[in-house]
A and B are shown apart, each in its own frame.
Chain A
Protein backbone atom coordinates (compact mmCIF):
# COMPACT_ATOMS: atom_id res chain seq x y z
CA UNK A 1 0.00 0.00 0.00
CA UNK A 2 1.53 3.26 -1.15
CA UNK A 3 0.55 5.94 1.34
CA UNK A 4 2.13 8.87 -0.51
CA UNK A 5 1.84 9.06 -4.29
CA UNK A 6 4.26 11.36 -6.08
CA UNK A 7 4.22 12.64 -9.65
CA UNK A 8 5.75 13.04 -12.13
CA UNK A 9 8.53 10.44 -12.04
CA UNK A 10 10.78 12.74 -14.05
CA UNK A 11 10.68 16.36 -15.08
CA UNK A 12 12.70 18.49 -17.47
CA UNK A 13 12.52 22.25 -17.03
CA UNK A 14 14.26 25.11 -18.78
CA UNK A 15 16.55 27.31 -16.72
CA UNK A 16 14.50 30.11 -15.20
CA UNK A 17 11.25 28.15 -15.41
CA UNK A 18 9.00 26.84 -12.65
CA UNK A 19 9.30 23.22 -11.53
CA UNK A 20 6.19 21.67 -9.99
CA UNK A 21 6.08 18.31 -8.24
CA UNK A 22 2.90 16.90 -6.75
CA UNK A 23 2.07 14.48 -3.95
CA UNK A 24 -1.18 12.96 -2.74
CA UNK A 25 -1.80 11.13 0.51
CA UNK A 26 -4.57 8.99 1.98
CA UNK A 27 -3.99 9.03 5.72
CA UNK A 28 -5.81 12.07 7.15
CA UNK A 29 -3.86 11.66 10.40
CA UNK A 30 -0.65 12.81 8.71
CA UNK A 31 0.40 16.10 10.28
CA UNK A 32 3.81 16.84 8.83
CA UNK A 33 4.76 17.08 5.16
CA UNK A 34 8.43 17.62 4.23
CA UNK A 35 10.26 17.66 0.95
CA UNK A 36 13.74 16.20 0.65
CA UNK A 37 16.36 16.82 -2.04
CA UNK A 38 18.87 14.16 -3.03
CA UNK A 39 21.97 14.53 -5.19
CA UNK A 40 23.65 11.45 -6.71
CA UNK A 41 25.74 9.55 -4.21
CA UNK A 42 24.36 11.50 -1.26
CA UNK A 43 21.62 10.96 1.25
CA UNK A 44 18.41 13.01 1.06
CA UNK A 45 18.49 16.42 2.74
CA UNK A 46 15.53 18.29 4.20
CA UNK A 47 14.51 21.14 1.89
CA UNK A 48 11.28 22.55 3.28
CA UNK A 49 8.33 21.30 5.33
CA UNK A 50 4.76 22.26 6.17
CA UNK A 51 2.10 21.39 8.73
CA UNK A 52 -1.60 21.24 7.79
CA UNK A 53 -2.57 24.39 9.67
CA UNK A 54 -1.21 26.55 6.83
CA UNK A 55 -1.86 26.40 3.09
CA UNK A 56 1.48 27.67 1.87
CA UNK A 57 5.06 28.02 3.02
CA UNK A 58 7.82 29.78 1.14
CA UNK A 59 11.57 29.65 1.65
CA UNK A 60 13.55 31.47 -1.00
CA UNK A 61 12.75 29.97 -4.39
CA UNK A 62 10.99 26.95 -2.85
CA UNK A 63 7.28 26.94 -1.99
CA UNK A 64 5.02 24.23 -0.61
CA UNK A 65 1.32 24.49 -1.40
CA UNK A 66 -0.97 22.39 0.77
CA UNK A 67 -4.60 21.46 0.06
CA UNK A 68 -6.02 19.65 3.07
CA UNK A 69 -9.44 18.92 1.56
CA UNK A 70 -7.90 17.38 -1.54
CA UNK A 71 -5.19 15.62 0.49
CA UNK A 72 -2.54 16.97 -1.82
CA UNK A 73 0.61 19.04 -1.51
CA UNK A 74 3.10 20.28 -4.03
CA UNK A 75 6.58 21.73 -4.32
CA UNK A 76 7.16 24.72 -6.58
CA UNK A 77 10.71 25.73 -7.52
CA UNK A 78 10.77 29.22 -8.96
CA UNK A 79 13.52 30.40 -11.31
CA UNK A 80 14.83 26.84 -11.61
CA UNK A 81 18.60 26.53 -11.95
CA UNK A 82 20.85 23.74 -13.23
CA UNK A 83 22.07 23.31 -9.65
CA UNK A 84 18.52 22.30 -8.69
CA UNK A 85 18.89 19.15 -10.81
CA UNK A 86 18.36 16.36 -8.29
CA UNK A 87 15.80 13.84 -7.11
CA UNK A 88 13.04 15.23 -4.91
CA UNK A 89 11.02 13.20 -2.42
CA UNK A 90 7.85 14.18 -0.64
CA UNK A 91 7.08 12.54 2.68
CA UNK A 92 4.47 12.49 5.41
CA UNK A 93 4.17 11.47 9.04
CA UNK A 94 1.79 11.21 12.00
CA UNK A 95 4.41 11.04 14.75
CA UNK A 96 5.81 7.93 13.12
CA UNK A 97 8.81 7.34 10.84
CA UNK A 98 8.44 9.34 7.65
CA UNK A 99 6.66 7.69 4.72
CA UNK A 100 8.25 8.73 1.42
CA UNK A 101 7.00 9.07 -2.12
CA UNK A 102 8.88 7.35 -4.93
CA UNK A 103 10.73 10.46 -5.99
CA UNK A 104 10.91 12.84 -8.97
CA UNK A 105 14.08 13.24 -10.97
CA UNK A 106 14.36 16.90 -11.97
CA UNK A 107 16.65 18.04 -14.75
CA UNK A 108 17.06 21.77 -15.32
CA UNK A 109 18.55 22.50 -18.71
CA UNK A 110 20.18 25.73 -19.84
Chain B
Protein backbone atom coordinates (compact mmCIF):
# COMPACT_ATOMS: atom_id res chain seq x y z
CA UNK B 1 0.00 0.00 0.00
CA UNK B 2 0.91 3.67 -0.10
CA UNK B 3 1.51 3.90 3.62
CA UNK B 4 1.44 2.00 6.89
CA UNK B 5 -2.10 1.07 7.81
CA UNK B 6 -3.21 0.40 11.38
CA UNK B 7 -6.52 -0.90 12.65
CA UNK B 8 -8.61 -0.20 14.51
CA UNK B 9 -7.96 3.53 14.79
CA UNK B 10 -9.68 3.60 18.16
CA UNK B 11 -10.38 0.84 20.66
CA UNK B 12 -12.17 1.05 23.98
CA UNK B 13 -11.97 -2.08 26.09
CA UNK B 14 -12.82 -3.14 29.60
CA UNK B 15 -10.07 -3.82 32.09
CA UNK B 16 -9.08 -7.48 31.99
CA UNK B 17 -10.05 -8.06 28.34
CA UNK B 18 -7.58 -9.02 25.60
CA UNK B 19 -7.06 -6.77 22.58
CA UNK B 20 -5.42 -7.25 19.19
CA UNK B 21 -3.98 -4.38 17.19
CA UNK B 22 -3.10 -4.79 13.53
CA UNK B 23 -0.43 -3.23 11.35
CA UNK B 24 -0.03 -3.47 7.57
CA UNK B 25 3.44 -2.19 6.62
CA UNK B 26 4.53 -0.74 3.30
CA UNK B 27 5.07 -3.47 0.74
CA UNK B 28 8.76 -4.34 0.49
CA UNK B 29 9.64 -2.99 3.93
CA UNK B 30 11.37 -5.79 5.79
CA UNK B 31 11.64 -3.99 9.13
CA UNK B 32 8.61 -3.38 11.34
CA UNK B 33 8.47 -1.62 14.69
CA UNK B 34 5.87 -1.14 17.41
CA UNK B 35 6.03 1.86 19.71
CA UNK B 36 3.75 3.06 22.50
CA UNK B 37 2.99 6.74 22.94
CA UNK B 38 1.63 7.75 26.31
CA UNK B 39 0.54 11.31 26.91
CA UNK B 40 3.63 13.45 27.47
CA UNK B 41 5.96 10.43 27.45
CA UNK B 42 7.31 10.36 23.92
CA UNK B 43 7.60 7.15 21.92
CA UNK B 44 8.48 4.01 23.85
CA UNK B 45 9.96 1.13 21.83
CA UNK B 46 8.14 -2.18 22.22
CA UNK B 47 9.29 -4.71 19.59
CA UNK B 48 11.17 -4.91 16.27
CA UNK B 49 10.88 -7.44 13.45
CA UNK B 50 13.53 -7.75 10.73
CA UNK B 51 12.77 -10.21 7.95
CA UNK B 52 12.87 -13.78 9.19
CA UNK B 53 15.18 -13.03 12.11
CA UNK B 54 14.07 -13.51 15.71
CA UNK B 55 12.29 -10.35 16.85
CA UNK B 56 13.84 -7.91 19.30
CA UNK B 57 11.37 -8.05 22.19
CA UNK B 58 13.49 -6.04 24.60
CA UNK B 59 10.96 -3.21 24.92
CA UNK B 60 7.89 -5.25 25.83
CA UNK B 61 6.83 -4.02 29.30
CA UNK B 62 5.40 -7.31 30.58
CA UNK B 63 4.50 -10.83 29.52
CA UNK B 64 0.96 -9.60 28.85
CA UNK B 65 2.32 -8.07 25.65
CA UNK B 66 3.17 -10.15 22.60
CA UNK B 67 3.46 -9.59 18.87
CA UNK B 68 3.65 -11.66 15.73
CA UNK B 69 4.49 -10.97 12.15
CA UNK B 70 3.62 -13.10 9.16
CA UNK B 71 6.68 -13.14 6.90
CA UNK B 72 7.30 -9.57 5.81
CA UNK B 73 3.70 -8.46 5.95
CA UNK B 74 1.02 -8.00 8.58
CA UNK B 75 1.84 -7.77 12.28
CA UNK B 76 -0.46 -8.04 15.27
CA UNK B 77 0.23 -6.73 18.75
CA UNK B 78 -1.72 -8.52 21.47
CA UNK B 79 -2.27 -7.22 24.97
CA UNK B 80 -3.75 -9.74 27.38
CA UNK B 81 -5.67 -8.86 30.53
CA UNK B 82 -5.55 -5.15 29.77
CA UNK B 83 -4.90 -2.68 32.57
CA UNK B 84 -5.69 1.03 32.74
CA UNK B 85 -2.00 1.87 32.42
CA UNK B 86 -2.06 0.23 28.97
CA UNK B 87 -4.13 3.17 27.70
CA UNK B 88 -2.01 4.86 25.04
CA UNK B 89 -1.57 5.29 21.31
CA UNK B 90 0.15 2.28 19.77
CA UNK B 91 2.17 3.19 16.71
CA UNK B 92 3.52 0.88 14.05
CA UNK B 93 6.33 1.85 11.68
CA UNK B 94 8.12 0.12 8.83
CA UNK B 95 11.37 0.72 6.98
CA UNK B 96 13.37 -0.85 4.18
CA UNK B 97 15.48 -2.80 6.64
CA UNK B 98 18.08 -2.75 9.35
CA UNK B 99 20.11 0.43 9.09
CA UNK B 100 17.37 2.33 7.29
CA UNK B 101 16.06 4.87 9.73
CA UNK B 102 13.54 6.46 7.42
CA UNK B 103 10.68 5.04 9.42
CA UNK B 104 7.18 5.47 8.01
CA UNK B 105 4.64 5.49 10.82
CA UNK B 106 0.99 4.62 10.70
CA UNK B 107 -1.57 6.89 12.35
CA UNK B 108 -1.76 4.61 15.36
CA UNK B 109 -4.41 2.85 17.41
CA UNK B 110 -5.71 4.81 20.37
CA UNK B 111 -6.41 2.26 23.11
CA UNK B 112 -8.54 3.24 26.08
CA UNK B 113 -8.95 0.77 28.94
CA UNK B 114 -11.94 1.53 31.16
A interface residue numbers (CB < 8 A to B): 6, 9, 32, 34, 41-46, 49, 89, 91, 93, 95-103
Contact = CB atoms under 8 A, between A and B. Distances in A.
A40 to B, nearest CB: 10
B48 interface: yes
Contacts of B44: 100
Contacts of B41: 102
Interface residues of B, number: 24
Nearest to A93: B101
A98 B107 contact: no
Contacts of B56: 96-97
Given A89-B43, A103-B42, 12 more contacts: A9-B40, A34-B101, A43-B107, A44-B43, A95-B98, A97-B45, A97-B59, A98-B43, A100-B35, A100-B42, A100-B43, A101-B42
Contacts of B105: 43-45
A3 B33 CA distance: 19
A36 to B, nearest CB: 8
A3 to B, nearest CB: 11
* B interface: dominant SS: loop
A34 B93 CA distance: 15
B101 A89 contact: no
Nearest to B6: A43
Given A43-B93, A43-B106, A43-B107, A32 B101 contact: yes
29 contacts: A9-B40, A32-B101, A34-B101, A41-B107, A43-B4, A43-B105, A43-B107, A43-B108, A44-B43, A44-B103, A44-B105, A45-B104, A89-B43, A91-B43, A95-B98, A97-B33, A97-B56, A97-B59, A98-B33, A98-B101, A98-B103, A99-B45, A100-B43, A100-B44, A101-B42, A102-B40, A102-B41, A102-B42, A103-B40
